[in-house]
Amino acid sequence: MNFLRKKQLQQRLRQDPYYRLRSFEEVALAAAIGIKIDVNQATVDDWLRLPGISIHQGRSLVQLTSQGVQFYSLDDVAAALGVPRQRLQPLAAILSFAYYAPELAPVQINLNRADLGALVDFGVEVPLAQRIITERQRGQYRDFADLQSRLQLSGAQIMQWLHLFRFS
């Protein structure tokens, strides 16, 4: 990569946090300017920034971390994806492995599986909890936008729930 191309890429990386890296050389450059991806808090979009990571793999990793799995090393990520460590080695410079104590992590429940008691325990008033369960019988909630639309909830209500509920 020539000097001018490196400078242009550095500028783009600083301006666009969702820029999808196209090569391992770009990964190394991103890491060199301080860009990191915390594997235990990464979103699907974060994983998709990396070359060689499919949407299926990104979703799988996010689902695992949302269910309490913590990755401590590149070996853990490779094992979760069922790929050799060597395949992920070029990504090591940009990946960050931080430990989060489970007791400090926010507790979330799956809104598509929670019963009335669990919803009430999480602060949902009984009539609204009953509506959530009744509406869920028409089909699982896909995300917060779907929940808001189907139950006609306010934006403020959804904001209160963002860190309490998940959908898978």
Extents of the domains making up the chain: 3-100, 109-166
Mean pLDDT in runs of 10 for the chain (168 residues)? 86 88 95 94 93 95 86 96 96 93 73 92 93 96 92 90 84
Nearest to 47 by CA among 33, 68, 65: 65
State how far the Cα of 124 lies from the Cα of 111, in Å rounded to an integer: 11
How far is it, in rounded angstroms, from Cα 166 to Cα 111? 6
- Which structure tokens are listed for 157? 């209500």
Q: What is the pLDDT of residues 74-110, one digit of tens each?
A: 999 999 999 999 999 999 999 999 987 766 666 788 9
Are 26 and 35 contacting, i.e. CB atoms less than 8 angstroms apart?
Answer: no
Give this prediction's pTM.
0.64
